[in-house]
Structure 1
Amino acid sequence: MKAVQIRAYGGQAEAVDIDDPAVGPREVLVRVSGVALNPLDLKIASGSVQGFFPVQFPYTLGTDVSGTIAEVGAEVAGWSVEDRVVARLDPTQGGAAAEFTTVPADQLAKAPASVSLPLSAGIVTAAGTAWQALTEVASLRTGQTVLVHGGAGGVGSFAVQFARDIGARVIATASGAGVDIALKLGAHEVVDYKVADFTESISGVDVVLDTVGGENEARSLEALRPGGLLVALPVPPDVERAVARGLRAEFVFHTSAAGRLAAVVRKIDDGAHILLDRMLPLTATPDAMNHLRDGKAAGKVILVADKIV
């Protein structure tokens, strides 16, 4: 089968022929339909996170996958051939960017019925992270106010929708066309961060979801009410700085969880929107990664496996 691999950290991704994967007794073989790229894929490929996610080479790229089950392991119950599924693969193993991949059966969720199968790969990490941050870490409640940085981005676009559905007041930051996107997704208020300083107009919020990090983290503390919570995504926050100001700070380390993914699938089928930047054939993985690295993606970048050549 074809797969897109790297042979060293910083190496060029290339399509190669490899053996079909063997299916373990508690696994299923998935015929890949879509692969969603994430910033983590870039970090793994560069080697910048090898302390957390060491990999062995050659390494088949990709963690977020959608497809149909082609084979079921001997000890697997509840899944059948031709079931449409989504899953997140172990980042240290990768394997999504291929014609076929194996997935532990306990990591599977049914794919959304309301969107195309390739597009459904776009919910796995981005929507899953937003759901984990808001419902598991922040325990966001009806009537609270949340500030979502990057409200038109991969995680932020889902966070805006999920927070609105929870019943929170949603303020987002975005820029350019992203302002209208965040408003259409449900934000009550959007601050164009290239035009205005959000700290001058926003204060007293219960939760800040920081998808940016760096200086943005420190400035976000100014927007919180006493006892408010900063939820950080890019890197662990400075907890001591937050506590010194009477605030809280938590880090979201996204993990695979079939139950969480199933909850996200229900939100998509209930009408949540997947913001798509572009779909490309699997063999265009290097171009897709460069596009993501340049920060030009306005939504999810999806690789479509049935267009592999």
Structure 2
Amino acid sequence: MRAITVRALGGPEMLEFGEVPEPEPGPGEVLVRVRAAGVNPADWKVRSGQVDGVGAPPFRVGYEFSGEARGREVFGMWLTRWGAYAEYVAVPEHVLAPKPPSLDHVPAAALPTAALTAWQALREVSGKRVLIHAAAGGVGHLAVQVAKAGGAYVIGTARAANHEFVRALGADELIDYSAVDFTEAVRDVDLVYDLVGGSYGKRSLAVLAPGGVLLDAQGNDAEGDPRYRRFYVQSSGEDLARITEMVESGRLRVHVEHTLPLAEAAKAHELSESGRVRGKIVLTV
């Protein structure tokens, strides 16, 4: 089968398109014919050696996809084994869910990682003031919708050029982080969802209301503070089924900014690393 392989740690040029053996499903696994694979920052962080425990190259990358398995259209995310940038991937059946009927494979492949990262973090926010950093990004634009559907007052940080886009998704208030220090523009936030990381941690603590929580999905400098919580997304076909319900009811829509063929995975990584992508990038297989 054709697939993308990381031949050595480094830049996008280390992604090699070629023939590799087709995976053989193990116990409890199914073989999925991949039709599209989503691109996430974690993919290029693995490729460049920023993630521990992956092992030495060569290895494959990509962990969200949409395709066909056992005669049905499915989508899913599998964190333990990488390799969705390929014609086939073998995954446990429990991480799969039926593809949303209203979506084709491209937008469906853009959903699993970002939507799960948003939904698992923000499913219980009714009546809360929620600040979402990077609100126009792959996770952020879905997090805005999930929080709004859950009954929150949603504040987002995004460049001014993206304000109209994020407001159309349901944001109540927007802050142009490139022109204004968000710590001076907002106060009394019940929950900050940090999708940026780094120095955004301690700065975000300053805007919390008494009893507020900083939920960090990237790794920031507030670790150790009692208000800090580290969030890790989990593979779950059951949760994806809930996300499908939101999509089909019109409460959640995914924005795909770039669609590229599998052979152009290096270009997709360059775009993702730029930090200027609105929504998601998808590779077609």
Q: Decide: shared fold, TM above 0.5.
A: yes
Q: Counterparts of 1:48 and 1:116 in 2: how far apart (Å)? A: 33
28, 43, 46: which one aligns with 1:44: 46
Asked if 1:280 is matched to 2:260, the reply is yes
Q: Counterparts of 1:268 and 1:56 in 2: how far apart (Å)? A: 38
Q: Are 2:33 and 2:88, in contact at CA under 8 Å, matched by a contact in 1? A: yes
Q: Which residue does 2:36 correspond to in 1?
A: 34
Give deviations 1:64-115, integer Å, cap 9, x for gaps. Answer: 111011xxxxxxxxxxx22111111234x31111111111111111111121
Residue type of the alignment partner of 2:17: A
For residue 120 of structure 1, give the secondary structure of its aligned residue in structure 2. helix
Q: Counterparts of 1:266 and 1:97 in 2: how far apart (Å)? A: 27
Q: Which residue does 2:113 correspond to in 1?
A: 125
Percent identity, aligned pairs only?
A: 38
CA shift for structure 1 position 194: 1.5
CA shift for structure 1 position 296: 2.5
TM-score (structure 1 length as normaliser): 0.87
CA shift for structure 1 position 143: 1.4
Q: Counterparts of 2:222 and 2:240 in 1: how far apart (Å)? A: 29
Q: Which residue does 1:76 correspond to in 2?
A: none
Asked if 1:262 is matched to 2:219, the reply is no
Larger-Rg structure: 1
TM-score (structure 2 length as normaliser): 0.94
Coordinate RMSD, CA, aligned:
1.5
150, 169, 183: which one aligns with 1:185: 169
Q: Which residue does 1:61 correspond to in 2?
A: 61
Q: Which residue does 1:297 correspond to in 2?
A: 277
Q: Counterparts of 1:208 and 1:301 in 2: how far apart (Å)? A: 25
Give deviations 1:133-180, integer Å, cap 9, x for gaps. Answer: 112xxx32x211101111111111111101111111111111032111
Q: Are 1:236 and 1:250, in contact at CA under 8 Å, matched by a contact in 2? A: no
For residue 139 of structure 2, give the secondary structure of its aligned residue in structure 1. helix
Q: Counterparts of 1:171 and 1:291 in 2: how far apart (Å)? A: 26
Residue type of the alignment partner of 2:48: S
CA shift for structure 1 position 185: 0.4
Q: Which residue does 2:15 correspond to in 1?
A: 13
More divergent stretch after superposition (228-237 vs 123-132): 228-237
Structure 1 residues 162-181: aligned runs within 5 Å: 162-181=146-165
Q: Counterparts of 1:215 and 1:101 in 2: how far apart (Å)? A: 37
Asked if 1:102 is matched to 2:90, the reply is yes
Q: Are 1:132 and 1:252, in contact at CA under 8 Å, matched by a contact in 2? A: no
Q: Are 1:237 and 1:249, in contact at CA under 8 Å, matched by a contact in 2? A: no
Distance 1:107 1:56, change over 3 A: farther
Q: Counterparts of 1:48 and 1:295 in 2: how far apart (Å)? A: 16
Off by >3 Å, runs of 4+ in structure 1: none
For residue 194 of structure 1, give the secondary structure of its aligned residue in structure 2. coil
Unaligned stretches of 5+ residues in structure 2: none
Give deviations 1:210-258, integer Å, cap 9, x for gaps. Answer: 1112222111112110110000111155243x33xxxx11011122122
Q: Counterparts of 1:193 and 1:18 in 2: how far apart (Å)? A: 44
Q: Which residue does 1:218 correspond to in 2?
A: 202
Q: Are 1:164 and 1:187, in contact at CA under 8 Å, matched by a contact in 2? A: yes
CA shift for structure 1 position 264: 1.7
CA shift for structure 1 position 25: 4.1
Distance 1:282 1:83, change over 3 A: same
For residue 158 of structure 1, give the secondary structure of its aligned residue in structure 2. helix
Q: Are 2:197 and 2:216, in contact at CA under 8 Å, matched by a contact in 1? A: yes
Structure 1 residues 133-212: aligned runs within 5 Å: 133-135=121-123, 139-140=124-125, 142-212=126-196
Give deviations 1:108-127, integer Å, cap 9, x for gaps. Answer: 11111121112201111111
Give deviations 1:32-63, integer Å, cap 9, x for gaps. Answer: 1110011110111111112xx42353212210
For residue 229 of structure 2, give the secondary structure of its aligned residue in structure 1. strand
Q: Are 2:7 and 2:16, in contact at CA under 8 Å, matched by a contact in 1? A: no
Q: Which residue does 2:78 correspond to in 1?
A: 89
Q: Counterparts of 1:214 and 1:54 in 2: how far apart (Å)? A: 22
Q: Counterparts of 1:88 and 1:161 in 2: how far apart (Å)? A: 20
Q: Counterparts of 2:185 and 2:132 in 1: how far apart (Å)? A: 14
CA shift for structure 1 position 19: 2.1
Q: How many residues align?
A: 282
